[in-house]
Protein backbone atom coordinates (compact mmCIF):
# COMPACT_ATOMS: atom_id res chain seq x y z
CA UNK A 1 0.00 0.00 0.00
CA UNK A 2 1.40 3.40 -1.02
CA UNK A 3 2.13 5.77 1.85
CA UNK A 4 0.00 8.93 1.97
CA UNK A 5 1.62 11.88 0.23
CA UNK A 6 1.86 15.62 0.81
CA UNK A 7 0.30 17.71 -1.95
CA UNK A 8 2.47 20.79 -2.55
CA UNK A 9 1.11 23.86 -4.30
CA UNK A 10 3.76 26.07 -5.89
CA UNK A 11 6.05 23.04 -6.10
CA UNK A 12 8.18 24.58 -8.85
CA UNK A 13 8.70 27.84 -6.97
CA UNK A 14 11.35 28.89 -4.48
CA UNK A 15 9.53 27.84 -1.31
CA UNK A 16 7.40 25.02 -2.70
CA UNK A 17 10.38 23.29 -4.31
CA UNK A 18 12.26 23.47 -1.01
CA UNK A 19 9.28 21.98 0.83
CA UNK A 20 9.11 19.14 -1.69
CA UNK A 21 12.86 18.49 -1.58
CA UNK A 22 13.04 18.30 2.21
CA UNK A 23 10.00 16.01 2.37
CA UNK A 24 11.52 13.71 -0.23
CA UNK A 25 14.76 13.57 1.76
CA UNK A 26 12.69 12.35 4.71
CA UNK A 27 11.14 9.64 2.54
CA UNK A 28 7.72 11.29 2.29
CA UNK A 29 5.95 10.96 -1.10
CA UNK A 30 5.20 14.32 -2.68
CA UNK A 31 2.54 15.27 -5.22
CA UNK A 32 3.53 18.50 -6.96
CA UNK A 33 0.74 20.58 -8.41
CA UNK A 34 1.73 21.78 -11.89
CA UNK A 35 0.23 23.44 -14.92
CA UNK A 36 1.47 21.55 -17.99
CA UNK A 37 4.96 22.68 -18.97
CA UNK A 38 6.17 23.17 -15.37
CA UNK A 39 6.74 19.43 -14.89
CA UNK A 40 10.45 19.65 -15.74
CA UNK A 41 11.02 22.14 -12.91
CA UNK A 42 9.79 19.82 -10.15
CA UNK A 43 12.39 18.46 -7.70
CA UNK A 44 13.51 14.99 -8.76
CA UNK A 45 11.29 12.34 -7.19
CA UNK A 46 8.18 14.53 -7.04
CA UNK A 47 5.10 13.01 -8.67
CA UNK A 48 3.56 15.57 -11.00
CA UNK A 49 -0.14 16.15 -10.55
CA UNK A 50 -2.06 18.38 -12.99
CA UNK A 51 -3.47 21.24 -10.97
CA UNK A 52 -5.00 24.67 -11.38
CA UNK A 53 -6.54 26.80 -8.63
CA UNK A 54 -9.26 27.76 -11.11
CA UNK A 55 -10.71 24.22 -11.32
CA UNK A 56 -14.02 22.54 -10.58
CA UNK A 57 -14.56 21.01 -7.12
CA UNK A 58 -14.31 17.55 -8.66
CA UNK A 59 -10.99 18.40 -10.36
CA UNK A 60 -9.60 19.78 -7.10
CA UNK A 61 -10.52 16.59 -5.29
CA UNK A 62 -8.93 14.52 -8.07
CA UNK A 63 -5.71 16.53 -7.73
CA UNK A 64 -5.58 15.82 -3.99
CA UNK A 65 -6.29 12.10 -4.37
CA UNK A 66 -3.64 10.10 -2.53
CA UNK A 67 -2.57 12.97 -0.26
CA UNK A 68 -3.38 13.32 3.43
CA UNK A 69 -1.57 16.66 3.91
CA UNK A 70 -1.51 19.92 1.95
CA UNK A 71 1.10 22.66 1.63
CA UNK A 72 -0.86 25.74 0.61
CA UNK A 73 0.63 28.95 -0.70
CA UNK A 74 -0.89 31.91 -2.50
CA UNK A 75 0.60 32.54 -5.94
CA UNK A 76 1.59 36.24 -6.08
CA UNK A 77 -0.75 37.03 -9.02
CA UNK A 78 -3.78 35.78 -7.07
CA UNK A 79 -5.48 38.44 -4.98
CA UNK A 80 -9.01 36.97 -4.90
CA UNK A 81 -8.36 34.16 -2.43
CA UNK A 82 -12.08 33.59 -1.90
CA UNK A 83 -12.42 32.53 -5.52
CA UNK A 84 -9.14 30.68 -5.98
CA UNK A 85 -7.93 29.37 -2.60
CA UNK A 86 -11.06 28.77 -0.54
CA UNK A 87 -12.40 26.07 -2.92
CA UNK A 88 -9.15 24.11 -2.56
CA UNK A 89 -9.44 24.33 1.22
CA UNK A 90 -13.04 23.13 0.98
CA UNK A 91 -11.98 20.19 -1.21
CA UNK A 92 -9.24 19.27 1.27
CA UNK A 93 -11.72 19.30 4.14
CA UNK A 94 -14.19 17.12 2.22
CA UNK A 95 -11.37 14.62 1.74
CA UNK A 96 -10.49 14.80 5.46
CA UNK A 97 -6.95 16.08 4.85
CA UNK A 98 -5.29 15.83 8.26
CA UNK A 99 -3.04 18.91 8.04
CA UNK A 100 -2.91 22.09 5.96
CA UNK A 101 0.33 24.03 6.28
CA UNK A 102 -0.28 27.55 4.97
CA UNK A 103 2.54 29.87 3.93
CA UNK A 104 1.41 33.15 5.43
CA UNK A 105 3.21 36.41 6.32
CA UNK A 106 4.95 37.77 9.38
CA UNK A 107 2.60 40.07 11.31
CA UNK A 108 -0.39 39.01 9.23
CA UNK A 109 -2.60 38.82 12.31
CA UNK A 110 -2.29 42.61 12.59
CA UNK A 111 -2.76 43.35 8.89
CA UNK A 112 -6.32 42.67 7.79
CA UNK A 113 -5.69 44.09 4.32
CA UNK A 114 -3.57 41.16 3.14
CA UNK A 115 -5.01 38.15 1.28
CA UNK A 116 -3.05 35.96 3.71
CA UNK A 117 -5.10 37.30 6.61
CA UNK A 118 -8.31 36.30 4.84
CA UNK A 119 -6.98 32.77 4.28
CA UNK A 120 -5.97 32.40 7.93
CA UNK A 121 -9.41 33.55 9.05
CA UNK A 122 -11.12 31.13 6.67
CA UNK A 123 -9.03 28.17 7.82
CA UNK A 124 -9.85 28.93 11.45
CA UNK A 125 -13.57 29.39 10.80
CA UNK A 126 -13.72 26.19 8.77
CA UNK A 127 -12.21 24.20 11.63
CA UNK A 128 -9.32 23.16 9.41
CA UNK A 129 -6.29 21.32 10.85
CA UNK A 130 -4.01 24.26 10.07
CA UNK A 131 -0.41 25.17 10.74
CA UNK A 132 0.57 28.74 9.84
CA UNK A 133 4.12 29.57 8.79
CA UNK A 134 4.68 33.33 8.96
CA UNK A 135 8.11 34.08 7.47
CA UNK A 136 10.02 37.32 7.58
CA UNK A 137 11.45 39.05 4.49
CA UNK A 138 13.10 36.48 2.19
CA UNK A 139 16.82 36.72 1.44
CA UNK A 140 15.85 35.46 -2.02
CA UNK A 141 14.42 38.90 -2.84
CA UNK A 142 18.03 40.03 -3.24
CA UNK A 143 18.54 37.37 -5.91
CA UNK A 144 15.24 38.00 -7.73
CA UNK A 145 13.41 41.32 -7.29
CA UNK A 146 16.57 43.35 -6.65
CA UNK A 147 19.09 41.36 -8.68
CA UNK A 148 19.00 43.36 -11.93
CA UNK A 149 19.97 46.60 -10.21
CA UNK A 150 22.74 44.87 -8.24
CA UNK A 151 24.14 43.36 -11.44
CA UNK A 152 23.91 46.50 -13.55
CA UNK A 153 24.71 49.22 -11.00
CA UNK A 154 26.19 47.44 -7.96
CA UNK A 155 23.31 49.02 -6.07
CA UNK A 156 20.70 47.70 -3.64
CA UNK A 157 17.66 49.78 -4.56
CA UNK A 158 15.15 49.23 -1.73
CA UNK A 159 13.08 51.91 0.08
CA UNK A 160 13.93 50.57 3.54
CA UNK A 161 15.51 53.70 5.03
CA UNK A 162 17.63 52.89 8.07
CA UNK A 163 15.40 50.02 9.18
CA UNK A 164 16.64 46.58 10.10
CA UNK A 165 15.32 43.17 9.04
CA UNK A 166 15.83 39.65 10.37
CA UNK A 167 16.01 38.15 6.87
CA UNK A 168 15.09 34.50 6.39
CA UNK A 169 16.30 32.07 3.72
CA UNK A 170 13.32 30.54 1.89
CA UNK A 171 15.13 27.20 1.94
CA UNK A 172 14.76 27.23 5.72
CA UNK A 173 11.00 27.50 5.27
CA UNK A 174 11.16 24.22 3.38
CA UNK A 175 13.01 22.63 6.29
CA UNK A 176 10.43 23.91 8.75
CA UNK A 177 7.49 22.76 6.62
CA UNK A 178 8.94 19.27 6.31
CA UNK A 179 9.42 19.19 10.08
CA UNK A 180 5.88 20.25 10.97
CA UNK A 181 4.44 17.81 8.44
CA UNK A 182 6.35 14.86 9.91
CA UNK A 183 6.27 15.47 13.66
CA UNK A 184 3.47 15.84 16.18
CA UNK A 185 2.14 18.88 17.96
CA UNK A 186 1.97 21.45 15.17
CA UNK A 187 -1.72 21.47 14.21
CA UNK A 188 -3.39 24.66 15.39
CA UNK A 189 -0.05 26.44 15.77
CA UNK A 190 1.34 29.57 14.10
CA UNK A 191 5.10 30.12 13.77
CA UNK A 192 6.83 33.41 13.00
CA UNK A 193 10.03 32.50 11.15
CA UNK A 194 12.91 34.97 11.18
CA UNK A 195 16.64 34.84 10.82
CA UNK A 196 18.83 34.94 13.91
CA UNK A 197 20.34 38.37 13.17
CA UNK A 198 18.73 41.77 12.62
CA UNK A 199 20.51 43.56 9.77
CA UNK A 200 20.30 46.90 8.00
CA UNK A 201 20.78 47.14 4.25
CA UNK A 202 24.14 48.83 4.79
CA UNK A 203 25.28 45.58 6.42
CA UNK A 204 23.78 43.61 3.52
CA UNK A 205 25.73 45.73 1.04
CA UNK A 206 29.00 45.23 2.94
CA UNK A 207 28.43 41.47 3.13
CA UNK A 208 27.72 41.29 -0.59
CA UNK A 209 30.84 43.35 -1.30
CA UNK A 210 33.00 40.93 0.68
CA UNK A 211 31.55 37.75 -0.82
CA UNK A 212 31.24 38.97 -4.43
CA UNK A 213 34.58 40.79 -4.44
CA UNK A 214 33.27 44.12 -5.76
CA UNK A 215 31.76 47.17 -4.05
CA UNK A 216 27.99 47.01 -3.57
CA UNK A 217 26.20 50.02 -2.11
CA UNK A 218 22.81 50.63 -0.56
CA UNK A 219 21.34 53.78 -2.14
CA UNK A 220 18.33 54.30 0.18
CA UNK A 221 15.77 55.43 -2.43
CA UNK A 222 12.58 57.11 -1.23
CA UNK A 223 9.28 55.30 -1.57
CA UNK A 224 8.27 57.48 -4.53
CA UNK A 225 11.60 56.88 -6.30
CA UNK A 226 11.23 53.15 -5.85
CA UNK A 227 7.62 53.02 -7.01
CA UNK A 228 8.33 55.29 -9.99
CA UNK A 229 11.14 52.96 -11.03
CA UNK A 230 8.85 49.93 -10.80
CA UNK A 231 6.17 51.70 -12.85
CA UNK A 232 8.77 52.65 -15.45
CA UNK A 233 9.58 48.97 -15.84
CA UNK A 234 5.96 47.94 -16.31
CA UNK A 235 4.63 47.16 -12.83
CA UNK A 236 0.83 47.46 -12.56
CA UNK A 237 -1.08 49.31 -9.83
CA UNK A 238 -1.84 46.18 -7.81
CA UNK A 239 1.85 45.23 -7.66
CA UNK A 240 2.80 48.79 -6.74
CA UNK A 241 0.25 48.77 -3.92
CA UNK A 242 1.62 45.52 -2.51
CA UNK A 243 5.20 46.80 -2.68
CA UNK A 244 4.20 50.03 -0.94
CA UNK A 245 2.59 48.05 1.90
CA UNK A 246 5.52 45.63 2.26
CA UNK A 247 8.19 48.31 2.50
CA UNK A 248 6.19 50.48 4.88
CA UNK A 249 6.13 47.46 7.19
CA UNK A 250 9.89 47.12 6.74
CA UNK A 251 10.54 50.81 7.48
CA UNK A 252 8.45 50.55 10.64
CA UNK A 253 10.92 47.91 11.89
CA UNK A 254 8.17 45.32 12.36
CA UNK A 255 10.50 42.90 10.54
CA UNK A 256 13.50 43.71 12.71
CA UNK A 257 13.10 41.15 15.48
CA UNK A 258 15.21 37.99 15.10
CA UNK A 259 14.22 34.67 16.65
CA UNK A 260 15.41 31.08 16.92
CA UNK A 261 12.19 29.36 15.85
CA UNK A 262 13.85 27.72 12.84
CA UNK A 263 16.60 26.32 15.08
CA UNK A 264 14.05 25.17 17.68
CA UNK A 265 11.83 23.39 15.14
CA UNK A 266 14.48 21.82 12.92
CA UNK A 267 17.47 21.42 15.22
CA UNK A 268 19.70 23.51 12.92
CA UNK A 269 20.28 27.28 12.90
CA UNK A 270 18.76 29.60 10.33
CA UNK A 271 20.97 30.17 7.28
CA UNK A 272 23.27 33.17 7.62
CA UNK A 273 23.26 36.01 5.11
CA UNK A 274 26.88 35.31 4.14
CA UNK A 275 26.07 31.66 3.40
CA UNK A 276 23.09 32.70 1.31
CA UNK A 277 25.13 35.21 -0.72
CA UNK A 278 27.79 32.59 -1.40
CA UNK A 279 25.22 30.01 -2.50
CA UNK A 280 23.44 32.47 -4.82
CA UNK A 281 26.43 34.41 -6.12
CA UNK A 282 25.59 33.54 -9.75
CA UNK A 283 22.42 35.65 -9.46
CA UNK A 284 24.57 38.80 -9.29
CA UNK A 285 27.33 37.85 -11.73
CA UNK A 286 28.07 40.60 -14.21
CA UNK A 287 27.83 39.42 -17.81
CA UNK A 288 31.13 39.58 -19.68
Contact 131, 189 (CB under 8 A): yes
Number of domains in the chain: 2
Assess if residue 261 is contained within a domain. no
Cα 37 from Cα 39, distance rounded (Å) = 6
Mean pLDDT of 69-82: 90
Mean pLDDT of 256-279: 97
Tell me what percent of the residues of the chain surpass a pLDDT of 90.
82
Contact 190, 261 (CB under 8 A): no
Assess if residue 168 is contained within a domain. no
Assess if residue 186 is contained within a domain. no
Q: Would the pLDDT of 79 be above 90? A: no
- CATH code of the domain containing 231: 3.90.25.10
Q: Which helix (H) or strand (E) holds 232?
A: helix 223-232
Residue 148: strand, helix, or coil: helix
Assess if residue 201 is contained within a domain. yes
Residue 1 pLDDT grade (very low, low, confident, very high; cuts 50, 70, 90): very low
Contact 14, 168 (CB under 8 A): no
Residue-wise pLDDT for 12-59, tens only, equals 999 999 999 999 999 999 999 998 766 778 999 999 999 999 999 999
DSSP letter string, 245-260: HHHHHHHTTTT-----
Assess if residue 75 is contained within a domain. yes
Domain shared by 120 and 34, yes or no: yes
Residue 72 pLDDT grade (very low, low, confident, very high; cuts 50, 70, 90): very high
Domain shared by 219 and 123, yes or no: no
Domain, as residue range, for 111: 5-135
Q: Which helix (H) or strand (E) holds 94?
A: helix 86-94
Domain shared by 18 and 112, yes or no: yes
Specify the pLDDT at position 47. 94
Name 72's Cβ contacts closer than 8 Å, sequence gap at least 6.
9, 85, 88, 89, 100, 101, 102, 103, 119
Assess if residue 50 is contained within a domain. yes
Q: Model's pTM, two decimal places? A: 0.93
Amino acid sequence: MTAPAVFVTGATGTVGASVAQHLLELGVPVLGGVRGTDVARLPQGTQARRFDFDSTPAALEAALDGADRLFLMRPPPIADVQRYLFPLIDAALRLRIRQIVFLSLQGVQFNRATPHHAVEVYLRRAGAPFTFLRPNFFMQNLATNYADRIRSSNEIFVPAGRSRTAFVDARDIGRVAATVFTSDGHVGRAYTLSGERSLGYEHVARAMSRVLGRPIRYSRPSESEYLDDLALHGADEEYLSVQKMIHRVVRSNLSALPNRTIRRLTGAPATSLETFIGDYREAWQVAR
